[in-house]
Amino acid sequence: MNWRYVFSGLFFTIVAFFLVFAVILSPTFGLKDSDDNYIDRPMDQHIIDNTQGETGADNGVTAVVFDYRGFDTLGEATVLFTAVAGVIVLFRRLKK
């Protein structure tokens, strides 16, 4: 039982060390660099500029979820269906 505490503590300090690096090395909050211009994001800028012409929707987030990246929404719908099927199967014998 002592070995479990030692390995858990070691793992915990390693992950905490990596999280400190994540705070330091992330992009600036607000996405502005040192002489006050916005950092370049070409893909998102293309999506913001051409949403109304290519998809016909006003909402940029819905256009990304259902038109530009519709395949990810198909995967997410499959995960939701699998979870509901799993819960109903697990509780089938408790009801009788």
Partner 1 sequence: MSDAGMSKIVKTMSGVCFPFIVIFGLYVIIHGHLTPGGGFQGGAVVASACAMIMIAYGSVWTMKKIKEKHLSIFESIGALTFITTAFFGILLADGVFFDNFILGENGIGRLFANTASGSSDIWTAGVIPIMNIAVGLKVIAGLFAIVLVMAYATHKIKGGEMQ
Partner 2 sequence: MMQTFYIPYLAVAGLIIIGLYAVLFKRNLIKMIIGITLIESGVNLYLITLSFREGSVAPIYTAETTANTVMSLPVPQALTLTSIVIGVAVLALMLSLVIHIFRHYGTLDVRKIREEDE
Interaction site with partner 1 (CB under 8 A): 52-53, 55-59, 61-63, 65-67, 70-71, 73-74, 77, 80-81, 83-84, 87-88, 91, 94-95
| C-beta separation of 53 from 74 below 8 A | no
Least distance CB 38 / partner 1 (angstroms): 23
| C-beta separation of 45 from 60 below 8 A | no
- 15 to 54: interface string for partner 2, x by CB under 8 A: xx--xx-xxx-xxxxxxx-----x--x-xx--xx--xx--
Least distance CB 87 / partner 1 (angstroms): 5
Determine, following the binding rule CB under 8 A, whether residue 70 of this chain makes contact with partner 2. no
Q: How far apart are CA 74 and CA 65, in angstroms?
A: 10
- What lies within 8 Å, CB to CB, of 45 at 6+ separation is none
Of partner 2, partner 1, none, which one sits near residue 50, judging by CB under 5 to 8 A according to partner kind? none
